Amino acid sequence: MHPDGTISEPGLANLVDHLLTTGCDGIVVGGTTGESPTLTEAEAARLVRAVAARSKNQARVVAGIGTYDTAVSIHRAREAEAAGADAVLLVCPYYSKPTQAGVVAHCVAVADATELPVMLYDVPARTGIAMEAPTLIELAGHPRIRAVKDAKGDLFEAMSVMARTSLAYYCGIDELNLPYLACGATGVLSVVGNVVADRNAELIRAVRSGDLDSAKAIQGSLIPLVDAIMRTSQGAVMAKAALAGLGIIPHATVRLPLLEPPPPHLQRLTDALATIAVPV
């Protein structure tokens, strides 16, 4: 974003180019960990349209469309489909704490509203409730519900659901990328990947080839950066700071209630970036 909080088109284009260059095969637009709650509907659709045009089919575009209002989520899903999204990311309804039956009804209603594949987003630390295993198993029966971004951190549950469904699991906790992949996850949806998607790609390849020693070495090399981005101010805040520091985006501006990181957090980030070579 520009310092006045408006969307920076050059910054967006540079970021998409960076992600494609570093090996991303999917780009999430408006993920809820970032600033999507501060985007207007017009801005959200505009971002999807711009990313889809810039990526030129080199990466799948996944639009974050979930809210705690089913009707609004349906509308946003349809807007994303019209804007060129390849799939939608649907977070568990937050704050209102529906029953699990309500979660199922919400997700089915959104999945029925478009022809796009749906990735569920299970992140109880933010939403206040989890998508329980029976709920995930039931939702897996829907022909368009194909995947889960799992930020719950319960590896046994994840393995249990994978064993009983065809859902593709994606790790949504950067600190646990390696164990999730080792347990059968398809890939990662990574905040830190905004900076080092190439390392995540190497990690996935190492696990798939059975080279766990290399996988452990890659994950170990990323620990300082994961710590600096995910365990200081806030993931999206710190990822923007890293991208701005590397010259990929022009500004690290965030919209309230998020704030740019204080000097001690920036120093931790600078020190972590110094330990790895980041493609720019």
Q: Known catalytic residue: 149?
A: yes
Strands (E), the chain: 26-29, 60-64, 87-91, 118-122, 145-150, 168-171, 187-188
- The pLDDT value recorded for residue 280 is 65
- CA-CA distance, 25 to 157, in Å (whole number)? 27
Mean pLDDT computed over every residue of the chain: 96
Kindly report the pTM of this predicted structure. 0.95
The answer to whether residue 43 scores a pLDDT higher than 70 is yes
- If pLDDT is split at 50, 70 and 90, which confidence band does 102 have? very high
The answer to whether residue 68 scores a pLDDT higher than 90 is yes
- CA-CA distance, 93 to 65, in Å (whole number)? 11
The answer to whether residue 255 scores a pLDDT higher than 70 is yes
- CA-CA distance, 178 to 222, in Å (whole number)? 11
Which helix H or strand E contains 56, and what residues bound it? none
Q: Which listed residue (56, 95, 97, 121) is catalytic?
A: 121
Q: Which listed residue (149, 170, 180, 240) is catalytic?
A: 149
Q: Which residues pair with 171 in a beta bridge?
A: 150, 188
**3-class secondary structure for 119-164?**
EEEECHHHHCCCCCHHHHHHHCCCCCEEEEEECCCCHHHHHHHHHH
pLDDT in tens, 115-134: 999 999 999 999 999 999 99
By CB atoms closer than 10 A (0-12, 13-18, 19+), residue 251 is: middle
Q: Known catalytic residue: 94?
A: no
Tell which phi-psi region holds residue 240, choosing left (phi > 0), alpha (psi between -120 and 50) or beta.
alpha
- CA-CA distance, 144 to 164, in Å (whole number)? 17
Contact 252, 244 (CB under 8 A): yes
The answer to whether residue 278 scores a pLDDT higher than 80 is no
- The pLDDT value recorded for residue 277 is 77
Dihedral sign, Cα of residue 204, residue 235, residue 246, residue 60:
positive
